[in-house]
Amino acid sequence: MASVGNEFRLSIPSKSRFIEGANDAPAKSPNKLENLRPTAFLSALLIEPPDAKTDVTLMEDDTDETKAVYILFIIRRNGDKLQPLRNVYFDRYTLQIVRQKIFDPSGEILSESKYSGWKLFGDISFPTVVDIKRPKDNYEVTLTISDIKFNAGDITPEKFVLVQPLVISFNK
């Protein structure tokens, strides 16, 4: 899967399929695989910091007998209106991110991601399990990471282009 701007391309070699579409297209397909969009992965794997110009961040210490987390509530200021953007949950003892909820403009959960199995890859700590739930898109996917390399080699524009494989068919 590759994405540039608002469009994406997805190759599924095992099914001889190549799909192109818009990142913000609604999830309409009964085949949940066809409803996957790059933004679901990007927002789960790369958590954006709050924008100091437009966002308000509040923190809650949510600790009891079963959990110990700090919750950051990130709220967007839009004139005199406030809109919840996302909540980011940190383990109170390790300060590792354990969960993130992203909200749509009406305040409903758009995405909920859970992070576990944090491990050092070189000198960068990263979760080895990321569970992404998309309730409005009606799917859930779990990413299990066994190895990851950050900025390995030259990063050129060509690495962000997914070329449709050549299909050769023979009539029998």
Alpha carbon 70 to chain centroid distance? 21
Residue 164 counted as domain residue = no
Long-range Cβ pairs for the range 9-16 (8 Å, 24+): 9/162, 9/164, 10/36, 10/162, 11/162, 11/164, 11/165, 13/165, 16/167
- Domain total in the chain: 1
What is the per-residue pLDDT for 171?
60
Find the domain containing 47 and state its range.
2-148
Residue 153 counted as domain residue = no
Residue 166 counted as domain residue = no
Residue 102 counted as domain residue = yes
Task: Name which of 1-10, 57-66, 142-151 the model is least confident about.
Answer: 1-10
Residue 54 counted as domain residue = yes
pTM of the model: 0.82
